[in-house]
Amino acid sequence: MMANRGLCLGVNVDHVATLRQVRGSTYPDPLQAAEECRKAGADGITMHLREDRRHVQEADVRAVRDWKGLPLNLEMANVPEIVKIALDVHPDEVCIVPERRRELTTEGGLDVVGQAARLRPTVEALGEAGICVSLFVEARPEQLESAAALGASCVELHTGGYCEARGEAREHELARLIAGARRAHELGLRVNAGHGINLENIKGVLRIPHLEALNIGHSIIARAVFVGIGSAVREILEIMAEYTGGERA
């Protein structure tokens, strides 16, 4: 993602599709949501095409890609069917995430160390196709080092632990994210972050150094119920504009 300011916002529109799928209707349309996000100043659109197709459908991904109003970041599991779709659709970026059928949302980072042999062909195929490859990881040195060794361009740090923690535990999680971002930067990886970020906790996230993008979905779509999606995006962007590059933010 590219932006005129230092920190980009990718809006995940999965839960627009969730509202549609729960009733089996034709609305609301993730593509329309993407356009509203663009008009509000977002820098990119994120969509997770799950194996079970619980929300976003392949047609949604293709529609947003054909629209080309903003760069598309496709979240996906490392499974042949979805890899094939990614190579055909050719999003600007792919973020490989762990995926379990019964989870409500992604529950943690990818085990890059343990799955390196399975990940390598996918990372190489996507990279050779000119797609930026990101891995969704915990901020642990061994995971970051393995991501760099595989040839990933970027990592997205899993912020869920920080966002869900309170008190001293939250400060501990933030320190881990800060250290992880520094290590990723040393390894030559671009650094994004996402999961669980909302208006209450985002200022802490902005203490993480070297960030290029935040990917935020559920909290923006939930807030949109009350203020509209454009206002929900602008609220987040207003706070993100305070980003100074890290710990002193």
Q: Thinking of the domain 8-240, which architecture would CATH place it in?
A: Alpha-Beta Barrel (3.20)
For residues 118 and 169, is the Cβ–Cβ distance under 8 A?
no
Q: What is the average per-residue pLDDT within 233-244?
A: 96
Say which amino acid occupies 37: C
In the numeric block, the tokens 């994210």 are attached to 177
pLDDT tens-place string over residues 155-168: 999 999 999 999 99
Tens-digit pLDDT profile for residues 99-125: 765 544 556 799 999 999 999 999 999
Go through 27-51 and write b for each residue having 16 or more CB atoms within 10 A of its CB, e for each that does not.
Answer: ebebbebbbbbbebbbbbbbbbbbe
pLDDT digits (tens, 9 = 90+) for 184-193: 999 999 999 9
Considering the entire predicted model, what is its pTM?
A: 0.93
Distance set, CA 241 to CA 41, 68, 75, 206, 235 (Å): 12, 25, 25, 10, 10
User: Which pLDDT belongs to residue 101?
Assistant: 53
Count of beta carbons in the 10 Å neighbourhood of residue 96: 29
Tell me which residue has tokens 């200022």.
203
What is the mean predicted confidence (pLDDT) over 164-174? 94
**Mean pLDDT score across all residues of the chain:** 94
Q: Where are the domains of the chain?
A: 8-240
The set of catalytic residues is: 48, 75, 195
* Residue 231 φ/ψ, nearest 5 degrees: -65, -40
The pLDDT tens digits for 36-67 are 999 999 999 999 999 999 999 999 999 999 99
